[in-house]
Amino acid sequence: MTILLTGGSRGKTSSRIARLLAQADIPFVVASRTVYDKVPYVQAQFDWEDKTTYSKLFADAKAKTGKPVSAVYLVPLENKNVGQQLRDFIDVAVKENNVSRIVLLSAASVEKGSFGWGEGHEHLVKLHEEVGLEYAVLRPSWFQENFSEFIYLPHIKNEGKIYSAMQDGPLPLISADDIAAVAFRTLTDPRPHNTDYILLGPTNWTYDEVAKILSDVVGKPITHVKQSKEEQVKFFISAGMREEYAHLMADLEAEYVASGAEGQLSSNAVVKVTGRPPKGFVEFALKNRQVWV
């Protein structure tokens, strides 16, 4: 088989899945808008916003590996057209290129059939029922790595502050390593999973508690600055986030997480799929201490 990973060689989950596939000696291609030098993996160009690149991607992947793509890991682009882009890409993969398995990265807060990623989830289930497509939808909570590989990082390091609109909402923060481990299994297991998995870390944390943990680990004061939704939109945009994605993220923070909804979720999917418990946030913070120093 050849596995196609969208999300790029620098994506939080795709980069980790790539390492697991390389260790298992399974052929794969990493697809993104940019092909980087010094990346030790086979790469191909692909742009979610350019439909003409969809079919070409599968041809390029086959040419580069000598084998057609049999499974795909989808990391959608965050924009207002994401639902249609997912349906179009999935159709090209399944109906034109005989892809037999697709794993979609969604989010814990996004139900099947709801906006964006949920539309892709719904389409996968539809094709499973119609043509036997094998699928899995991964619905993680917020990433632990948001503090080490995301917009929050420079403000933690330089200002000792975490800006959010989450207020006192609890989050079962999950490691991208655990998401990648589940993705690896759902992409490669002989028996298809054909379901969605809510992926959670072992403990709920508020951002005040996260700030306290990071303060203790780093050895300097780090505080959580509680912002309004409007302030958080401006913060995200000033940090380089697309405007429509900034509004989506701020909405989720202020209206979903702040309400406590994410903290009410329950799931043992990580241990069920991988055979080991998910990594905790304190373990993550200790491991990554030098990032914030």
Per-10-residue mean pLDDT of the chain, 293 residues long, equals 88 94 96 85 93 95 95 90 95 98 96 92 98 98 94 94 97 97 98 98 98 97 97 94 90 94 95 97 96 95
pLDDT at 156: 96
pTM of the model as a whole = 0.95
pLDDT at 79: 79
pLDDT at 77: 83
Q: Which fold has domain 2-140?
A: Rossmann fold (3.40.50)
d(CA 95, CA 60): 17
Q: At the fourth CATH level, which superfamily is domain 147-170+202-264+279-292?
A: UDP-galactose 4-epimerase, domain 1 (3.90.25.10)
pLDDT at 35: 83
pLDDT at 84: 95
d(CA 149, CA 225): 19
pLDDT at 37: 79
Structure tokens of 117? 């990623």
For the stretch 244-277, pLDDT in tens is 889 989 999 999 999 999 999 999 999 999 999 9
pLDDT at 91: 98
d(CA 69, CA 53): 15
- Domain coordinates in residue numbering, the chain: 2-140, 147-170+202-264+279-292
